[in-house]
Structure 1
Amino acid sequence: MRRFVSLLLVVLLAAACAVPAAAEEDKLASGRRFTELFFGGAVDELWEVFDKPLRDVFGTVDGLRLFHTQIVSAFGAEPELVHDEITAMQGWLVYQALLKFGEAAPLLLIQWSYTEDGIIGGMFVSQVPREAPSEFLDYQTKTDLRLPFDGEWYVYWGGRTIFENHHAADQGQRFALDFLVLVEGSSHAGDGSANENYHAFGLPILAPGPGVVIAAVDGVPDNIPGVMNPDQPLGNYVVIDHQNGEYSFLAHLKQGSVAVQVGARVEPGDLLGLCGNSGNSSEPHLHYHLQNAPGFPGGQGLPAQFQSYTADGVMVERGEPVRGQVVAP
């Protein structure tokens, strides 16, 4: 059953852009209807609006019916909506909903990708964990942090809920962030098959605050986009001891680009390396998190409150970036 629950039926490798607020409610209605049809067992009605590539994944309507039966048997047929949202992704509307089936039961994420006229080209269903407990929910960052880059970057994962941030399930990365760069709604040019196609690849990554470099790894090869390296999850990375019980981790840097050595003193804005695609990464991006210990794994994640940055063009004196925002120093 695990194979079906985590089956990605159509992969759309691009970052999403928010749908204008005025149109959002109408767009959400279609995703909510597809979800109701699925859990209500209206498999034939859904099959009628699946496009050919999606039908090919299931083979026949009976394949979709089997998938429905497995999901309902595992989770139930009466989900309660926790949160949903709609985004635009390279010509598709992408609806995501977080569902629960009781207070203690696992959460379920369902995603539909469909056109303006209601043709479904993608479906994704996955069990998701709940947020890890943390004693630092009210923590105030001691270090004066700046964003670790220049220019505008998109917050792909960020926030305190599992819906906003898949890192939130892990105690050490409870408040972690993933940043990438979008141009006209996409993280890459061309077909995205090479790292050089990605707008973030090779951009400077900067020290977010003052401190001493206590770890610097530079020899991990960059992945081919879509291929990950879970054996070396951080890839090439730098760890900064801010000398106040806070440690910054900056990961997935480009092989051969790390510009600092262990023992070096850094100041905010100093060059650490270049954005890459090393480690447990599917495309070039920057992973950042703050924690209370120097080792990984081993510490507990801390909220990272950055100073004096813009989020979607609005000045933020002190805040935590969240998924979907475009941020800049």
Structure 2
Amino acid sequence: MSTQILSAGLAALLLAVSMPGHSQASTTAVPTADATPQDAPAMQAGRELSQLFLQGDTDAVWARMSPQMQQALGSAAALAQFRAQVGQQLGEEQAVLDESVGTDQGVHAYVRTSRWSKLPAPILMHWALDDAGKVAGFSVQPKPQAAPSPHLDYQTKAHMRLPFDGQWYVFWGGHDIEQNYHAASPGQRFAYDLVKHVDGSSHRGDGKALEDYYCWNEKILAPADGTVLEAVDGLPDQAIGTRNTEAIAGNHVMLDLGNGEYALFAHLRQGSVAVEAGQEVAPGDEIGRCGNSGNTSEPHLHFHLQDAPVFGEGDGLPAFFEHYTADGEAVERGEPVKGQTIAPMDDGASK
């Protein structure tokens, strides 16, 4: 079964819903959490929308979509076509295995995991709701699985500091698919998406301008001694709500850290890349500024290690950092995970 058929066949059903990421980020959408009382409306709305969709009442679902979703989808007939496509590929829902809700950056998520008649793998139905209760995102897809990796127990050879100063938030990070949607991709198996949070949000105001984002234009630093293999600049920073799917990494830098370890820094700000191919860098050297170029939904730093010198080739490697704080606790060496606030140990608590 192809995930593309169900979740990428109609681009409108994959609208970005305020989550950092690239490479099919929109099929994963916002993270979920344990239900709290304030999540009850999202649970109720998600159940209602799921039932309407399953019954084929796509006109009722269409009426509850945001204007942006309706504009992107084009017509209620397109939604009906998608429902028919789901039925042809998956059959009918047989049993609900799990429901979860959560809120992140103003988007309320409902995720329903079910068994369907034509496919043995669990299926995720995901609804994203804006503050007005309108559908801002929707997808139906096989539940992502973490890609097999020959490096699950790998220990990073390079001695790496965090690639920034001050406090940053781990939006995606970890070995499990629940912690890290990148885990579905062999090459990005242990990748990170990193933002800056203030009072639980990555941006001030309505977040429509790139400058609203707290990590925008922040310095991105070399984590270890290395040699620049590739430095790409000149690609435009995408306005919020737009993506460049032709240049996934956007402006980026690839560093050779030695011992078969290569580090990618993606989505850098246009015109900010401060290094060039062949240049030697030391820990803490500025390599660029945080931006929003490439296939990304909002300003953030995408960072990962891999075992090949070319992006898109080889397998991802775990990235162990040294001398940092995670949620205020000192870590001499470790792998940050989703939900942690991290900072270099020498300035972490003060910035």
TMscore range, shorter length: 0.7 to 0.9
Secondary structure of 1:124's aligned partner: strand
Verify: 1:8 aligned to 2:13, yes or no: yes
- Give aligned pairs, total: 328
Letter in 1 for 2:307: N
For the residues of structure 1 that align with 2:336 and 2:48, how far apart are their CA atoms? 31
User: Do residues 77 (structure 1) and 92 (structure 2) align?
Assistant: yes
In structure 2, C-alpha distance between the alignment counterparts of 1:148 and 1:216, rounded to whole Å = 16
The aligned residue for residue 348 of structure 2 is: none
Cα–Cα, structure 1 residues 148 and 31, in superposed 2: closer, same or farther, change >3 Å?
farther
In 2, the alpha carbon distance for the partners of 1:86 and 1:188 equals: 22
- How many angstroms apart in 1 are the aligned matches of 2:55 and 2:68? 18
1:296 aligns to 2:311 (yes or no): yes
Equivalence for 1:269: 284
- Report which stretch shifted further, 8-17 or 296-305: 8-17
Q: Indicate the SS of the match to 1:73.
A: helix
- Pair 204,81 (structure 1): closer, same or farther in 2 beyond 3 Å: farther
Q: TM-score, normalised by structure 1?
A: 0.79
Taking the TM superposition and a 5 Å limit, the aligned residue runs for 1:177-196 are 177-196=192-211
Pairing of 1:107-146 with structure 2 (within 5 A): 108-114=123-129, 119=133, 121-127=135-141, 129-146=144-161
Quote the Cα distance in structure 2 between the aligned partners of 1:55 and 1:219. Answer: 31
**Residues 1:301 and 1:69: Cα distance change in structure 2 (over 3 Å):** same
2: CA distance, partners of 1:50 / 1:296: 40
What SS does the aligned partner of 1:242 have? strand
Task: Please say if residues 6 and 126 of structure 1, whose CA atoms lie closer than 8 Å, have aligned partners that are also in contact.
Answer: no
Amino acid at match of 1:111: H
Q: Which moved more, 1:72-81 or 1:212-221?
A: 72-81
Alpha-carbon distance in structure 2 between the residues aligned to 1:235 and 1:52: 29
Match of 2:224 among 194, 209, 229: 209
Counterparts of 1:222-261 in structure 2, within 5 Å, are 222-261=237-276
Q: Distance in 2 between matches of 1:25 and 1:37?
A: 19
Counterpart in 2 of 1:166? 181
Amino acid at match of 1:41: Q
Q: Percent identity?
A: 43
Structure 2 regions of 5+ residues with no counterpart? 21-29, 345-351
Change (3 A) 1:323 1:294: same
Amino acid across the alignment from 1:157: W
2:342 counterpart SS class:
strand
TM-score by length of 2: 0.75
Say if 1:315 and 1:111 are closer, same or farther in 2 by CA, change over 3 A: farther
1:278-314 CA distance string (max 9 Å, x none): 2222322111110112112222111112223333444
Deviates most, 280-289 or 97-106: 97-106
Moved more, 224-233 or 6-15: 6-15
Distance in 2 between the 1:63 and 1:228 partners? 22
Structure 1: how far apart are the matches of 2:283 and 2:98? 37
Q: 1:263 to 1:175 in 2, by over 3 A?
A: same
Between 1:47-56 and 1:205-214, the stretch displaced more is 47-56
Superposition deviation, residue 246 in structure 1: 0.8
